[in-house]
Amino acid sequence: MSGTMNITLKVWRQAGPTAPGGFEEYKAPGISPDMSFLEMLDVVNERLIEGGKDPIAFDHDCREGICGMCGLMINGSAHGPSKLTTTCQLHMRSFKDGDYITIEPWRAKAFPVLRDLVVDRGPLDRIIQAGGFVSVATGSPQDANALPIGKLEADEAMDAAACIGCGACVAACPNASVSLFTAAKISHLGLLPQGQPERYRRALHMVAQMDLEGFGGCTLFGECMEACPKGISIDFIKRMHGDYIWGAVTEKPEKVALGSG
C-alpha cells in the first residue's frame, strides 16, 4: 500500500475515576493505511512517551476481534465506521489523509471511566452472575449424544452465543440499555434444551440485575444492533421480553427482588 496519511486525533483524557476529564488534540503524521486503529494508537503512544508525556490508556488484548476487551467511540460510533468490526480489527485505510478523528470511551452511567479510554464493565459479569448459566456441576453428565439438538436450534443458539461482551451495544444506545447483551445470553441458553429448567427464572433475575446496575430501558431503537461487531440480532430482545413476562407470571415474586447480591 502506497503513501502514508497525516491525521489529527481528539482524544478523551482523564487521569483517574474521579479526576476531571477533557479532550486533547494530537497530530499523527505518517500513518500507514495498513495499520490497525490500535496500531495507530501504539504509534501515537510511542511518540508521546518519547516526548516525555503519558501515553493514552486504552483496553485491548487479543487484537483479533474475539476477546471483547477493546472498544472505543470513534467519531461518535461505537467501534468506528466499519460494520461488524471491532476497534482492533478496524484498519486505517477506512480513513483518509487529513482526517480529524474523535476518540472517546464508552459513555454510560453504568460504565465509569477508570482512565482515559478505559472503562469498568464489571456490570456485564454481574448480569451473568444473576443467572447466565446452566446450573450443572462438573461431574459425569450423560453422554453428549444422548441429547439430540436440531441443527437449526443449535445454529440459532450459536448466533446468540457469539456475543463477545464488549459493551458497544450499551455505548451506542441513546438510553444506555444493556438489553442486547443480556438478551443474547438469555437466548443462547433459552434456545437449548439444557437451558429450559431455569429459562424463566434466568430471564427474571438477569433483567432485574440490569436494572439494579443502572442501565437504561430498551425502546427498540436498534442502534445496538447497528454497532454490534458480532451482528447480534435485536429479535433476541423480543425473545427476552417474552421470557421475562412469562417468568413474571409463573415465578415467585420474591425471587425477582433478590438480584445477584
**Span near ligand FES by CB under 6 A; candidates 17-25, 65-73, 219-227, 246-254:** 65-73
Considering just the CA atoms, what is the radius of gyration of the chain in Å? 21
From 66, 212, 248, 256, residue interacting with another protein (rule: CB under 8 A): 66
Q: Does 121 bind another protein (CB under 8 A)?
A: yes
The neighbour count for residue 47, using CB atoms within 10 Å, is 16
Binding mask 124-163 for another protein (x = CB under 8 A): xx--xxx-xxxxxxxxxxxxxx-xxxxx--xx-xx--xx-
Q: How far is the CB of 174 from another protein (least distance, A)?
A: 25
Q: Does 70 bind ligand SF4 (CB under 6 A)?
A: no
One-letter identity of residue 222: G
Interface positions, 71-110, toward ligand FES (CB under 6 A): 86-88
Binding-site partner at residue 208 among another protein, ligand SF4, ligand FES, none, CB < 5 to 8 Å by type:
none
**CA–CA gap between residue 36 and residue 42 (Å, rounded):** 10
Q: In the complex with another protein, which residue's Cβ is closer, 163 or 219?
A: 163
Interface positions, 130-189, toward ligand SF4 (CB under 6 A): 163-169, 180-181, 184
**CA–CA gap between residue 76 and residue 98 (Å, rounded):** 18
C-alpha cell at 59: 483496553
Give 245-250 contacts, CB < 8 A, sequence gap 24+: 246/200, 246/203, 247/199, 247/200, 247/201, 247/203, 247/204, 248/204, 250/200
Strands across the sheet with 100-104, in order? 21-31, 5-14, 100-104, 73-74, 77-78
Interface positions, 35-64, toward another protein (CB under 8 A): 35-36, 38-40, 42-43, 46, 49-50, 52-55, 57, 59-64
Helix axes 179-190, 122-129, angle to 10 degrees: 30
DSSP string, 146-198: GS---HHHHHHHHHHHT-----HHHHH-TT---HHHHHHHHHHHHTSGGGSTT
Binding-site partner at residue 52 among another protein, ligand SF4, ligand FES, none, CB < 5 to 8 Å by type:
another protein
**Span near ligand SF4 by CB under 6 A; candidates 11-19, 42-50, 146-154, 223-231:** 223-231
- Number of residues forming the site for ligand SF4 (CB under 6 A): 15
Q: Does 254 bind another protein (CB under 8 A)?
A: no
**CA–CA gap between residue 157 and residue 193 (Å, rounded):** 11
Q: In the complex with ligand FES, which residue's Cβ is closer, 60 or 188?
A: 60
Q: Does 176 bind ligand FES (CB under 6 A)?
A: no
